[in-house]
Amino acid sequence: MRTRVTKLLQIQNPVIMGGMAWIGTTGLAASVSRAGGLGVLGASTMSGPDLEKAISMLRDSGITGFGVNISLVAEGFEDLVRVVERAKVPVVTVSGGDPRILTGRLKDSGAIVLHVVPSPRLAEKACYAGVDIVIAEGVEAGGHVGGKELPLFALLPMVKKTVDIPVVAAGGIGSGRAMAAAFCLGAEAVQIGTLFAASRESPASRIYKEMLVKAGVETPVIYGRNDQPARALLTPVVEKLVRLDRSGAKRNEIRHVRGLGRARAGLVGGDLEQGIFPAGLSAAWVDSINSVSNIMSKLLFEFIQAGKELQNE
């Protein structure tokens, strides 16, 4: 199970928690770290003081191995960066922008830097910027997705061919078999979001978790293609946004319907009428609301079994 990623991040299992907005909280991140993975705080919806408090709570609970996710498209991300620098956060995952913006500063603070890339071109740019690890995220992921809409298993081998630094696979990975397939294509760890969002330790609403249990592979859809594409469960708001995409609506009209706070209304408030419920295609693999520990154990058991089957063929 030892890879360059587990060695760099000093984790037992090659599993990284996605930096999920609103639900990437202290409790969930701590549970993933205790299960041998890397728990990650989703800082993009936090204020500087909120992030500072979350980091302190993690450390007070005895968690030393954790990360913070910063989105370069989040308003006020500079405040979050300053908190990360002061707190000497060991690992930072960055998404949504040019890797040259933060990599140098974060590395100067002592952090190991991972950058989410939706294309081989951005992976190459991240490598030149000095990023330690790239996260190749396919269009199967929940939340914001790359405009090129490259599937993970097309993207991953191209990224692996482009860079010589370690690569993490992300997007739609919901089973140990999918994890094994990613490793066959060159991944040295996986990033998991939706599975952990459905866990008992997740602060997400009960309604959201039950929707994930009922979801099929066709349920999470992409909306906002003419603005900022994202994937979520099909609800009245998302259905309207999909219709706007098909009609060629302008960006302003899409943003008016998309509004502000809809993801929070869905994820935290469970608002079926007004909320948006981000989810990846791995929602189809959520068959119950389980503990993080059990999710991790099942994932790794299936991963090892798949590896043994490959060796026997």
pLDDT digits (tens, 9 = 90+) for 240-260: 999 999 999 999 999 989 988
| 95/61 Cα distance (integer angstroms) | 27
| 250/279 Cα distance (integer angstroms) | 25
**Which residue in 83, 292, 68, 294 sits closest to 202, CA to CA?**
292
The rounded percent of the chain whose pLDDT value lies above 70 is 100
Q: What is the overall mean pLDDT for the chain?
A: 96
CA-based angle 2:312:295, to the nearest 5?
50
The predicted model gives 40-68 an average pLDDT of: 97
The enclosing H or E element of 114 equals strand 112-117
The predicted model gives 265-286 an average pLDDT of: 96
pLDDT at 226: 87
Contacts of 295 (CB under 8 A, 6+ apart): 35, 195, 196, 199
Cα–Cα distance list, 170 to 40, 76, 162, 240, 296 (Å): 14, 26, 17, 28, 16
pLDDT at 26: 97
| 207/268 Cα distance (integer angstroms) | 9
- Summarised one tens digit per residue, pLDDT across range 230-242 is 999 999 999 999 9
Residue 34 has pLDDT above 90, yes or no: yes
- Summarised one tens digit per residue, pLDDT across range 289-309 is 999 999 999 999 999 999 888
The enclosing H or E element of 301 equals helix 292-312
In DSSP terms, 152 is beta-bridged to none
User: Which token pair is 298?
Assistant: 């099942």
Residue 216 has pLDDT above 80, yes or no: yes
pLDDT at 304: 95
Contact predicate 190/203, CB 8 Å = no
**Phi, psi for 91 (deg, rounded to 5):** -140, 135
Residue 110 has pLDDT above 90, yes or no: yes
| 16/13 Cα distance (integer angstroms) | 9
CA atoms within 13 A on the CB side of 82: 8
The predicted model gives 224-233 an average pLDDT of: 93
In DSSP terms, 231 is beta-bridged to 143, 222
pLDDT at 311: 80
Give the length of the chain: 313
Q: How far is CA 191 from the centre of its chain?
A: 6
The rounded percent of the chain whose pLDDT value lies above 90 is 92
Residue 313 has pLDDT above 70, yes or no: no
Contacts of 237 (CB under 8 A, 6+ apart): 257, 258, 262, 273, 274, 275, 276
CA-based angle 19:163:183, to the nearest 5?
65
The predicted model gives 151-168 an average pLDDT of: 98
